[in-house]
């Protein structure tokens, strides 16, 4: 019988586990990156207006467009909000289908929601305000006990997915939050009833940057752990089908370069993970966070 | 902690776990015939359904299901059941945050729910339900939760009020070999913490996992004793 | 409680406020369309930026920037169908605006601009209208019978569009051009590349590729396959006295665009 040989990219599609192992054995990855090399991540452009903040983020080939808009709610009497708030993210990954959000889209949105809350970057009192009132073309303080709150709606659109998306979506979200500016909210007239239906965004005053409990943007990094010849290989920033579906021991770390805000480990292949390995992951994450924030 | 096993008649294994104000019921059916699209040629496929105590499952439950799937699929010996399906249904019966839902502070509740306080109990209840169903496992497992308060002290099995005032909170799942914790299967740490704190939490988690598993083992031993009705007469 | 259990939409009663009326006209952040228009001669076509083949998990992709408009198109296909045998490929177009974009008010029947836009699920009336227009313009150009048992799906994303400074018709013009480019990029066999031209006319004067919004004027968009001078689609808003002139002017513009596309494709 004749043996059949396949090109590497075809082998990767038909037997991804074998393709992955062969690559790693000779010390390379199918995406040509080094084991400890992350895809480049950068903000392409960012702008902010009275009703919307938009960022374009590129990570490798992946492009993420992040839009943050807001809605206003009235705080009910007696309602004391938690010290920190979150945002309300929705996410869609362009992959040529339409319909209800997929599990991946739902899980990413929920992760971003939980992450923002637990990282304590968004203090509730940055979002709470008292509206002003327009009297004779001048904005004046309104005498009221009513309080209102901005609710941030985040929409992420992802083009050209090639690997796990949490890192880039997280980056898009936090860097966009840094750019959010909120307008002064006012009533047009002192005779109008004070309710959310009558509030307007004031177009002439300068926008106020959103106050965050975050000096530098948090950075999320992901790693895969793969057992090769009884040793654990650490592979940074998984990409491509073969790595994503066959490296099932994964770690995700969120750091600001000093401390950590998130550490998630899923040991899918029940590896013996040593303390030194975890230390090295934490160190790399810190360094990456510092490097990205120093650009 | 209160545990009852084999509580359901029409499934292969089940367990009900009550821990404080959290009550969880888990059923396991399998190996059973999968739907064609679920079938895997050399592995058992895993279907996990999580139902909350109030309302319908939303993105939060979806994410919990996803986490639970990755934990269980690494521990069940799936290649023992090729082309088969193992179905795990988790029904949360009551939750500490439920009282708040009734008081109707929606936003606050959403914020409180993200602490996922029932998740450790779900994992532990799954362990007993899987044992009850006689599904093969690589290793036993146990979930423990901890929180670190502002004064840097570690609280084991924190309650909701502890979590709200904590600086960080940590969920760890260890596999168990010879009644001792062996590997970290899953870790989920959120909040603000240093490297040192993370390792302290891991060490402490290792300890309490060992201690708690002694209790688990007694429950399992008692269960085996009860299940074997044809005991040899002394 | 939110009824949508697949999306995180926040409190249901949250309301997006309107922007108050500025008392200081110069302070307006928006580009003044009139100032722009003054620089542009009526026969000019505005500058545009185009790019293809930048999305690796689609078969073809294109990106166009034109004024305030940014459009992205991905082609998925030919892909196999799951259902029973069909002799020729089925072709579908789905156009979506990013949720926060304000769509044409006049066409938007369910337009509630005050609730969280991320909760919108189905296509809006505007999106439907654009999708079916683009679909009917492109179908004649594709050799569908070359691809039995397949579907070819075109996904259009309107990334930026300012409904106050650019008319819907102008947007559709550039969507059509972007879609043709993406089709070429995908390698699907086509008879010709569909390009379009857009004019406004007040009966006497004709302006090509107008950037100011239409008011009481006629707005005409015609799509062509220029090789044989065939018309594949016409979109007219308002009364048109002289259809011939309008078509002629649109044809001029579509030929210019076609020339640009040709040289772009040859250079890539």
Question: Does any domain span residue C180?
Answer: yes
pLDDT tens digit string along A267-286?
A: 999 999 999 999 999 999 99
End position of a domain, from candidates A152, A179, A209: A209
The chains in contact with chain B, meaning 3 or more Cβ pairs closer than 8 Å, are A, C
pLDDT at residue number A77: 67
Q: Which residues contact C110 (CB under 8 A, 6 or more apart)?
A: C124, C125
Q: Which chain B residue shows the shortest CA-CA distance from C9? A: B59
The chains in contact with chain C, meaning 3 or more Cβ pairs closer than 8 Å, are A, B
Sign of CA dihedral B50, B56, B59, B60: negative
The domain of A203 spans 41-209
Shared domain check, A172 and A45:
yes
Query: Tokens for B226?
Result: 């009860």
Asked if C5's CB is within 8 angstroms of B107's CB, the reply is: no
Residue among A50, A67, A73 minimizing CB distance to C11: A73
Higher pLDDT among residues B57 and B96, named by residue: B57
Which residues, listed in sequence order, are joined to residue B156 by a DSSP beta bridge? B146
Higher pLDDT among residues A1 and A220, named by residue: A220
- Report yes or no: A46 and A179 within 8 Å, Cβ to Cβ: yes
Question: Does any domain span residue C131?
Answer: yes
Residue among A98, A160, A200 minimizing CB distance to C19: A200
Q: Which residues contact C71 (CB under 8 A, 6 or more apart)?
A: C63, C64, C156, C157, C158, C159, C171, C174, C175, C178
Task: Pick the closest to residue A172 from A126, A107, A119, A116 (CA basis).
Answer: A116
Which residues on C lie below 8 Å from B55 (Cβ)? 1
Question: Does any domain span residue C15?
Answer: no
Shared domain check, A137 and A46:
yes
pLDDT at residue number A80: 65
pLDDT at residue number C32: 45
d(CA C76, CA C78): 7
Domain B1-138 part of CATH 3.30.230.70:
yes
pLDDT tens digit string along B46-95?
A: 999 999 998 889 999 999 999 999 999 999 999 999 999 999 999 999 98
Shared domain check, A196 and A227:
no
Contacts across the A-B interface (CB distance below 8 Å): 102
pLDDT at residue number B108: 56
Question: Does any domain span residue A240?
Answer: yes
Q: Which chain A residue shows the shortest CA-CA distance from C79? A: A96
**C34 pLDDT exceeds 50?**
no
Q: Which chain C residue shows the shortest CA-CA distance from B57? A: C5
Asked if B59's CB is within 8 angstroms of C8's CB, the reply is: yes
pLDDT at residue number C35: 43
**C171 pLDDT exceeds 50?**
yes
Q: Is the bond into C161 cis (omega within 30 degrees of 0)?
A: no
Q: Where are the domains of chain B?
A: 1-138, 139-226
- Report yes or no: C29 and A181 within 8 Å, Cβ to Cβ: no
**C214 pLDDT exceeds 60?**
no
Fold for domain B139-226? Answer: Ribosomal Protein S5; domain 2 (3.30.230)
Question: Does any domain span residue C23?
Answer: no
**A66 pLDDT exceeds 90?**
yes
pLDDT tens digit string along C175-203?
A: 999 999 999 999 999 999 999 999 988 77
Which residues, listed in sequence order, are joined to residue C75 by a DSSP beta bridge? C60, C154
Query: Tokens for A118?
Result: 């637990």
pLDDT at residue number A47: 93
Question: Does any domain span residue C37?
Answer: no
Q: Rounded mean pLDDT of B99-103?
A: 61
Task: Pick the closest to residue B209 from B130, B97, B127 (CA basis).
Answer: B127
Question: Does any domain span residue A156?
Answer: yes
Q: Which chain A residue shows the shortest CA-CA distance from B183? A: A272
> Structural domain tally of chain A?
2
pLDDT at residue number B93: 95
Between helix A103-118 and helix A166-179 the angle, nearest 10°, is 50
Q: Rounded mean pLDDT of C16-35?
A: 62
pLDDT tens digit string along B107-136?
A: 555 667 778 889 999 999 999 999 999 999
- CA separation (Å) from A130 to A150, B176, C76? 11, 55, 49
Tokens 């004024």, located at residue: C67
pLDDT tens digit string along C132-156?
A: 999 999 999 999 999 999 999 999 9
Average pLDDT, chain C: 86
Task: Pick the closest to residue A274 from A218, A201, A212, A225 (CA basis).
Answer: A225
Q: Rounded mean pLDDT of B137-143?
A: 97
CB atoms within 10 A of CB A17: 11
- Report yes or no: B146 and B212 within 8 Å, Cβ to Cβ: no
The kind and range of the H/E element at B146 are strand B140-149
d(CA C264, CA C49): 10
The kind and range of the H/E element at B103 are helix B98-103
Give the closest-approach CA distance of C13 to chain B in angstroms: 12
The domain of C77 spans 44-267
Q: Give yes or no for A196 touching C (CB within 8 A).
A: yes
Average pLDDT, chain A: 93
pLDDT at residue number C33: 45
CATH number of C175's domain: 3.30.230.70
Give the closest-approach CA distance of A151 to chain B in angstroms: 11
**A152 pLDDT exceeds 60?**
yes
Shared domain check, A130 and A68:
yes
For C158, the 3-state DSSP assignment is: strand
Asked if A73's CB is within 8 angstroms of C15's CB, the reply is: yes
Q: Rounded mean pLDDT of A123-127?
A: 93
d(CA C173, CA C175): 6
Q: Which chain A residue shows the shortest CA-CA distance from B68? A: A266
Give the closest-approach CA distance of B162 to chain C in angstroms: 26
Shared domain check, A225 and A197:
no
Q: What percent of chain A has pLDDT over 90?
A: 77
pLDDT tens digit string along B160-192?
A: 888 888 999 999 999 999 999 999 999 999 999
pLDDT tens digit string along B20-43?
A: 889 999 999 989 999 999 999 999
Q: Rounded mean pLDDT of A208-223?
A: 95
**C93 pLDDT exceeds 80?**
yes
Question: Does any domain span residue C183?
Answer: yes
Q: Label residue A261 left, alpha or beta by phi (over 0 means left) and psi (-120 to 50 means alpha).
A: alpha
Asked if C1's CB is within 8 angstroms of B106's CB, the reply is: yes
Q: Which residues contact C41 (CB under 8 A, 6 or more apart)?
A: none
Confidence grade of residue A72 (pLDDT, cut at 50, 70, 90): very high
pLDDT at residue number C39: 53
Number of helices (H) and strands (E) in chain C: give both, helices first.
4, 10
Shared domain check, A91 and A194:
yes
Question: Does any domain span residue C7?
Answer: no
Contacts across the B-C interface (CB distance below 8 Å): 14
Backbone angles phi, psi at C117, to 5 degrees: -65, -20
Asked if C5's CB is within 8 angstroms of B57's CB, the reply is: yes
d(CA B46, CA C150): 32
**C96 pLDDT exceeds 70?**
yes
Query: Tokens for A284?
Result: 């790399």
Task: Pick the closest to residue A71 from A174, A155, A144 (CA basis).
Answer: A155
DSSP 8-state secondary structure symbol assigned to residue A143: -
What residues of B are in the C interface, CB distance below 8 Å? 55-59, 62, 106-107
Contacts across the A-C interface (CB distance below 8 Å): 132
d(CA A88, CA A110): 9
Asked if B183's CB is within 8 angstroms of A271's CB, the reply is: yes
d(CA C164, CA C211): 10
- Report yes or no: B147 and B155 within 8 Å, Cβ to Cβ: yes
d(CA C48, CA C70): 10
How much is the pTM? 0.94
Q: What percent of chain C has pLDDT over 90?
A: 57
ipTM score of complex: 0.93
Q: Give yes or no for B200 touching A (CB within 8 A).
A: no
Suggest the residue from C8, C101, C113 to mutate for an interface test with chain A (most A CBs closer than 10 A).
C8
Q: Which chain B residue shows the shortest CA-CA distance from A86? A: B111
The chains in contact with chain A, meaning 3 or more Cβ pairs closer than 8 Å, are B, C
Shared domain check, A268 and A154:
no
Residue among B105, B164, B192 minimizing CB distance to A79: B105
Same fold, B1-138 and B139-226: yes
Residue among C21, C99, C116 minimizing CB distance to A71: C116
Shared domain check, A279 and A200:
no
Higher pLDDT among residues C3 and A248, named by residue: A248
Lowest-confidence region among A90-94, A172-176, B19-23, B75-79 = B19-23
Suggest the residue from C3, C12, C13, C14 to mutate for an interface test with chain A (most A CBs closer than 10 A).
C14
Burial class (CB in 10 A: 0-12, 13-18, 19+), A62: buried
Give the closest-approach CA distance of A106 to chain C in angstroms: 6
Which residues on B lie below 8 Å from A114 (Cβ)? 63, 114, 190
Q: Which chain A residue shows the shortest CA-CA distance from C160? A: A54
Confidence grade of residue C210 (pLDDT, cut at 50, 70, 90): confident
Asked if A155's CB is within 8 angstroms of C19's CB, the reply is: no
Question: Does any domain span residue A59?
Answer: yes
For C121, the 3-state DSSP assignment is: coil
d(CA A236, CA A41): 14
End position of a domain, from candidates A209, A237, A272: A209
Asked if B183's CB is within 8 angstroms of A273's CB, the reply is: yes
Shared domain check, A186 and A64:
yes
């Amino acid at each position: 019988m004749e043996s059949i040989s396949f090109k590497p990219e075809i082998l990767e599609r038909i037997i991804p586990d074998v393709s992955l192992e062969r690559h790693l054995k000779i010390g390379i990855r199918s995406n040509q990156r080094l084991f400890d090399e992350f895809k480049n991540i950068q903000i392409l452009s960012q702008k902010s207006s009275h009703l919307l903040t938009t960022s374009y983020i590129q990570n490798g080939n992946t492009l993420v467009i992040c839009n943050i808009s807001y809605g206003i709610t009235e705080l009910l009497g007696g309602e004391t909000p938690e010290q920190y708030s979150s945002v309300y993210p929705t996410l869609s990954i362009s992959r040529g289908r339409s319909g209800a959000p997929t599990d991946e889209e739902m899980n990413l949105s929920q992760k971003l929601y939980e992450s923002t809350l637990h990282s304590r970057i968004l203090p509730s009192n940055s979002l709470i305000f008292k509206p002003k009132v327009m009297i004779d073309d001048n904005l004046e303080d309104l005498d009221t006990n009513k309080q209102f709150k901005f609710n941030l709606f985040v929409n992420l659109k992802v083009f050209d997915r090639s690997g796990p998306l949490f890192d880039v979506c997280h980056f898009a979200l936090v860097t966009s939050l840094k750019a959010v500016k909120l307008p002064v909210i006012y009533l047009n007239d002192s005779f109008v009833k004070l309710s959310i239906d009558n509030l307007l965004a004031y177009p002439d005053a300068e926008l106020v940057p959103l106050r965050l409990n975050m000096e530098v943007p948090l950075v999320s990094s992901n790693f895969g752990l793969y057992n090769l010849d009884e040793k654990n290989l650490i592979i940074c920033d998984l990409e491509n089908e073969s790595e994503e579906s066959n490296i099932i021991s994964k770690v995700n770390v969120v750091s600001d370069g000093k401390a950590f805000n998130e550490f998630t480990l899923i040991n899918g292949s029940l590896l013996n993970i040593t303390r030194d390995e975890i230390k090295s992951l934490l160190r790399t994450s810190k360094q990456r966070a510092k490097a990205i924030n120093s650009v | 902690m209160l545990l009852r096993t084999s509580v359901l008649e029409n499934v292969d294994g089940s367990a009900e776990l009550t821990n404080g104000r959290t009550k969880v019921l888990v059923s396991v059916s399998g190996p059973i015939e999968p739907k064609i699209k679920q079938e895997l040629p050399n592995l058992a496929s895993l279907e996990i359904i999580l139902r909350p105590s109030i309302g319908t499952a939303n993105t939060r439950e979806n994410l919990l299901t996803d986490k639970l799937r990755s934990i269980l699929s690494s521990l069940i010996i799936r290649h023992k059941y090729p082309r088969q399906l193992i179905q795990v249904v988790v029904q949360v019966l009551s939750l500490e945050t439920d009282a708040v839902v009734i008081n109707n502070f929606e936003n606050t509740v959403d914020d409180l729910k993200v602490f996922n306080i029932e998740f450790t109990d779900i994992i532990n209840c799954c362990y007993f339900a899987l044992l009850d169903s006689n599904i093969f496992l690589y290793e036993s497992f146990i979930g423990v939760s901890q929180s670190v308060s502002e004064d840097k002290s570690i609280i084991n099995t924190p309650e909701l009020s502890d979590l709200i005032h904590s600086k960080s909170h940590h969920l760890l799942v260890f596999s168990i070999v010879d009644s001792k914790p062996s590997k970290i299967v899953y870790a989920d740490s959120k909040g603000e913490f240093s490297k040192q704190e993370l390792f302290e939490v891991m060490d402490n988690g290792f300890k309490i996992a060992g201690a708690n598993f002694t209790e688990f083992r007694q429950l399992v031993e008692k269960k085996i004793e009860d299940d074997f009705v044809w005991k040899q007469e002394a | 409680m939110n009824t949508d259990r697949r999306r995180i939409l926040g409190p249901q009663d949250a309301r997006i406020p309107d922007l108050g009326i500025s008392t200081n006209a110069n302070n307006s952040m928006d580009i003044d369309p009139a100032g722009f228009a003054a620089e542009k001669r009526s026969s000019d076509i505005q500058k545009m930026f185009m790019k293809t083949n930048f999305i690796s998990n689609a078969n073809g992709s294109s990106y166009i920037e034109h004024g305030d408009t940014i459009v992205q198109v991905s082609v998925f296909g030919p892909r196999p169908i799951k259902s029973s045998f069909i002799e020729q490929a089925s072709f579908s177009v789905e156009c979506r605006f990013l949720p926060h974009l304000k769509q044409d008010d006049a066409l938007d029947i369910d337009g509630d601009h005050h609730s969280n836009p991320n909760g919108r699920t189905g296509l809006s009336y505007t999106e439907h209208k654009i999708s079916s227009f683009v679909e009917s313009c492109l179908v004649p150009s594709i050799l569908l019978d070359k691809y039995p048992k397949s579907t070819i799906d075109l996904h259009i994303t309107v990334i930026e569009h300012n409904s106050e400074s650019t008319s819907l018709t102008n947007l559709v013009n550039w969507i059509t051009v972007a879609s043709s480019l993406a089709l070429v990029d995908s390698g699907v066999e086509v008879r010709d590349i569909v390009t379009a031209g857009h004019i406004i006319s007040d009966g006497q004067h004709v302006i090509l590729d107008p950037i100011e919004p239409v008011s009481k004027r006629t707005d005409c968009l015609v799509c062509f396959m220029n090789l044989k001078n065939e018309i594949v689609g016409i979109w007219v808003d308002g009364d048109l006295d002289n259809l011939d002139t309008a078509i002629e002017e649109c044809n001029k513009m579509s030929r210019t665009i076609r020339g640009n596309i040709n040289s772009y494709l040859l250079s890539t």
